[in-house]
Amino acid sequence: MNKSSKGRELQVLVILLFCLCEGVLDENQGVTFQTLGNVGHNAAPAVVGDTVQTPGSDGSSAAPTDIADDADNSSAIAALLNSDLLSGYNPNILPKYNKSNEVSIKITLININNFDELSGQLELTVMCDLRWSDSRLSFDSSKYGGIHSILLPVSDVWFPVLYIIQAYEAIMRIGTNSAFVRIDSNGTVTWTFGDVFNILCTVDVKYFPFDKQSCTVSILAWYYRREEMSLYAQSSQLINEEFTSESAQWDINVDESTVYNKTRDSTGPPEVQFNLSITRRHGFYIVYIIVPVMLLSIINTLVFLMPVTCGERMSVSVTVCLSFVIFMDTINNNVPESSSPMAEIYKYVLSLLVQSAITIFLCVISLVLFSCKGDVPFCVQGVVKTLRFKYSSSSRCCKRKVVVMRVTPDIKYATDMLKCNDNISKVDAFGESVDDIIDWEYVSRTFDIYAGVIVLSLFVTLSVYTFVTICIS
């Protein structure tokens, strides 16, 4: 008995020593038990007041059971909500079956990054806002510390897969760079992301540089049928003055840039389209192309006012002609290489180039006429007379004015009756015999007058027709 009693006493002492080593007695908190051992072993539950905590795998205590009453554990509440929402959730399953899942989309243009008219590539920065309802993700906010919404990775929930079919290189999927979606307590899912759209736009440069381009982009839910999902626009406005940036080369036509629903057929995929209408800012092209071209044309016309003897007519005409070739190359570098439709400004410069070539040809004829020797043929004189006197043949001011010097004998040899007359007097004569004297120089000057009028009339006609056509459009 003594030995057994001593053994029990020894066991009690060992237990007390173990308890003293392992536990701490506290009058207010009770006893907190901790487990000594390596990290990764299961720890014993800890009691803090009336709340039981379960240690985690790293030895730390887990979230309290009654987390809704503890406002300081917001991260733990969000983690628990995240776990509860995704528990048993399959992101590959539609929110609703045998019923259309309504998805709304709002598209806002942020910036026109680049528009290459030669290739038709249009690069846009766009903000998209999609919303739909998923009842599997609804929760009672009162049970989770008053949390009304939570962010979840987009890959953890179901989301619509959307494509752009007007992509520049290949059909483009949008939203691939997005990270999160917002889940509201009523199950509403909001997916907001920004993306860069590289699309192919048909360019019409007929009225360059006063042209207006219109690009249509289709966003399709390619995988879904209409009975499974419906896609519709939240708003018809594509432009938001608060977010949309101005472009240096293009003005955005706000009223014509819209978002709208599109229905191709009853069996086609859900689709939404947006149309972007932009107008070119033409100030640079007016100063850089149009004004210099018109000034060159005027100079080209004025060569007929230059004296034939100065010898600079041909050099000026050839220089102007070559300048038009350079401007045609400049325009060609700014418009697509397409003949349908051809830019009106291209036709205009081409016409002025032809006019310049005609001017060179007329200058050559004028030089040939001026260099002719001998008498002017009677038929040529008749043509010249007709051209110079056709509209006012009876007008004194339109005839060649000839000064005739009447000479009288010197007073030494004159009779007494002539002593009262002046020695020399001047009279104006418009006799036909004087007008009949027409030389080749006179023919050349007549030719220059009518050649200049013809070239100037051609320039004015081409200019008026071209710019009226462009402006009316």
Predicted local distance difference test score (pLDDT) of residue 31: 36
Burial degree of 62 (CB within 10 A; 0-12, 13-18, 19+): middle
> What pLDDT is stored for residue 7 in this prediction?
54
Closest CA to 456 of 335, 304, 343: 304
Question: Whose structure tokens read 């018809």?
Answer: 236
Question: Can you give the pLDDT at residue 17?
Answer: 54
Q: Which residue has the tokens 């009691």?
A: 47
403: enclosing H helix or E strand: strand 402-407
The CATH code that applies to domain 285-376+441-472 is: 1.20.58.390
> In this predicted structure, what is the pLDDT of residue 467?
87
What is the model's pLDDT at position 8?
54
Q: Which amino acid would we find at residue 201?
A: C
Q: Tell me the domain boundaries of the chain.
A: 21-62, 101-281, 285-376+441-472
Within 10 Å of residue 124's Cβ, how many Cβ atoms? 22
pLDDT in tens, 59-76: 444 444 444 445 457 788
Q: Could you report the per-residue pLDDT of 94-127, keeping only the tens digit for each? A: 998 878 899 999 999 999 999 988 888 999 999 9
CA distance 291 to 231: 50
Ranges of residues in the chain with a pLDDT under 50 are 1, 3, 14, 19, 21-69, 71, 391-403, 413-414, 417-418, 424-435
Residue 426 region by backbone torsions, left for phi larger than 0, else alpha for psi between -120 and 50, else beta: beta
- The per-residue pLDDT for range 13-70, each reduced to its tens digit, is 545 555 454 444 343 344 333 333 333 333 333 333 333 343 444 444 444 444 444 5
Q: Would the pTM of this model clear 0.75, i.e. be above it?
A: no
Cα–Cα dist 337/214, whole Å: 19
| pLDDT, tens digit, 9 for 90 and up, residues 264-281 | 776 778 899 999 999 999
At the topology level, CATH places domain 101-281 in Acetylcholine Binding Protein; Chain: A, (2.70.170)
Other CB atoms within 10 A of residue 166 CB: 19
Angle (CA) 279 280 284, round 5°? 155
Residue-level pLDDT at 39? 33
Whole-number pLDDT of residue 64: 41
Q: Give the number of residues written for the chain.
A: 473
pLDDT at 377: 84
